[in-house]
Amino acid sequence: MALQAQHCLQLDNWLDSKWHGIALRDHFAKGEDGILYMDANSIGPMPINAPEKIQQFMDIGWRQMRRRGWTQLDWLKQPQTLGQDIAHLMGANKSVVRVADSTSINLYKLLSYGLGIQSPKRIIVIQRHVFPSNAYVAQGIEKSGQTQLRYIDDISELQNALAPQDVAVVALSHVDYRNSQRLNMEEINPMVHANGALSLWDLSHSVGAVRIDLEKTRSDMAVACGYKYLCGGPGAPSLMYVGSHLSNAHWPAICGWMGHSDTFAFDADYKKSSNMDQFLVGTPSVLANTSFSCATEIWRDVSVDQLNERHESLTQTLIQLLQEQCNEFELEISSPLVHAQRGGHVALRMDGAANMAQAMISKGVVLSARKPDSLRIGLHPLNTSHMDVWKVVSTLRDLLDTQEWRDPRFVASNI
């Protein structure tokens, strides 16, 4: 049966269901009039109460409370409480998730921690086409002499890379940021462990979009961006997870006062916290955490089953519509067609993808392109409607049909 606008409308009832007395769709602020946002893989939508909560923080927290905020408000607890509110989205125990720093920095901390645990093993296996910052972090550790990197071009090469039994850590992107291919943790973790290595997952393109089972799949460590599907706000701090079996296995890579077992003892010597706090370093970013807390208040009550089911429905609808409406054009769905093998976004391959992204933006659909030929549509399970999906596909089809996207005014920017 051809999927048409009417059918898409019927699929959207969930967004009208009430959460805390308000329809789900109204928990997020509307964007600019007439603009559709398909960029949740970059920056998720803004919770509706964020401006008010930030204003309140400015007024009460900063202007009035000043230093008393550290003791009388929740500022020091936010790295824990934010982690607790979203741990279920990663299939993690609430006690082993913290929110702080950036993903690149957390990756450094956990790669180094893994190397410390596994010494004298010193090999890190990493994908060659991982998000560049992840490779840069690993290359920096290599330059400092602490590791040697072993690259894999494809996950099928992992077994061979592990075979010499000399690997300390395997750092993998759960989802490829380009084509959205999702790896199978359930199969990969046992392979990593059987060869004496630890797994470190980057969940940036899956958490808040699809089901993740860190504990069930016996994952060792993980990091993820807070500003994408999790809606923490631009530049929101990142998530980190260390399985409880590893929490006291070594010394943290960056020791700071927030990771000390008694921060305000002002000890001359570092004594590491025995829990996940040891991976905290310096003063928390209270403003950014306050913004993030508006989203975690929503996430707290989201079941991962509902999230996953809705994401599947949205992305399968998108794929079906693309197959129906855009089949005759030179455009290929480069993401896996099966939901369990796909992350948060759906990627298309076409020559001139960056120009098409600009053309789509000119028609009111915000999406992104990645070099050389990838167009990414990042749907948000709590915010995107099936009707939005229909509009995206019809806009794309019109641009392809009229060839308007080839107009020189759509200068490629790749952002």
Ligand X SMILES: Cc1ncc(COP(=O)(O)O)c(C=O)c1O
- Does residue 372 have a cis bond before it (omega within 30 degrees)? yes
Burial (CB count within 10 angstroms: exposed 0-12, middle 13-18, buried 19+), residue 213 = middle
| Phi and psi based region of residue 28 (left: phi greater than 0; alpha: psi -120 to 50; beta: remaining) | beta
Min dist CB 254 to ligand X, Å, is 15
In the complex with ligand X, which residue's Cβ is closer, 27 or 109? 109
Which residue type is seen at 219? S
Min dist CB 50 to ligand X, Å, is 19
Closest CA to 386 of 326, 324, 311: 311
In the complex with ligand X, which residue's Cβ is closer, 113 or 177? 177
Integer Cα distance of 251 and 286 in angstroms? 26
In the complex with ligand X, which residue's Cβ is closer, 317 or 374? 374
Integer Cα distance of 345 and 379 in angstroms? 6
In the complex with ligand X, which residue's Cβ is closer, 227 or 390? 227
Closest CA to 169 of 116, 223, 114: 114
Please name the helix (run of DSSP H) or strand (run of DSSP E) that holds residue 374, with its range, or none.
strand 374-378
User: Is residue 252 a contact partner of residue 113, using CB atoms and an 8 Å limit?
Assistant: yes
Integer Cα distance of 261 and 274 in angstroms? 7
By the criterion CB under 6 A, which residues form the site for ligand X? 102-104, 131, 133-134, 173, 177, 202, 204-205, 225, 238
Min dist CB 175 to ligand X, Å, is 8
Min dist CB 179 to ligand X, Å, is 13
Min dist CB 41 to ligand X, Å, is 8
Min dist CB 345 to ligand X, Å, is 11
Instruction: At 157, list the tokens.
Output: 């090469």
Q: At residue 220, what are phi and psi to the nearest 5 degrees?
A: -90, -50
The CA R_g of the chain, rounded to the nearest whole Å, is 22
In the complex with ligand X, which residue's Cβ is closer, 93 or 104? 104
In the complex with ligand X, which residue's Cβ is closer, 36 or 200? 200
Min dist CB 126 to ligand X, Å, is 12
Min dist CB 173 to ligand X, Å, is 6
In the complex with ligand X, which residue's Cβ is closer, 102 or 261? 102
The DSSP call for residue 74 is: S
Q: Is 47 in a helix, a strand, or coil?
A: strand
In the complex with ligand X, which residue's Cβ is closer, 325 or 374? 374
In the complex with ligand X, which residue's Cβ is closer, 101 or 363? 101
Q: Report the helix count and the strand count for the chain, using DSSP H and E.
A: 12, 15
Min dist CB 26 to ligand X, Å, is 28
Integer Cα distance of 407 and 397 in angstroms? 16
Place of tokens 């309140």: 56
Integer Cα distance of 273 and 263 in angstroms? 9
Outline where DSSP puts E strands in 138-255.
148-152, 167-173, 198-202, 221-224, 238-242
In the complex with ligand X, which residue's Cβ is closer, 178 or 311? 178
Instruction: At 328, list the tokens.
Output: 């005759």
Min dist CB 139 to ligand X, Å, is 14
Min dist CB 174 to ligand X, Å, is 9
User: Is residue 314 a contact partner of residue 288, using CB atoms and an 8 Å limit?
Assistant: no
In the complex with ligand X, which residue's Cβ is closer, 223 or 400? 223
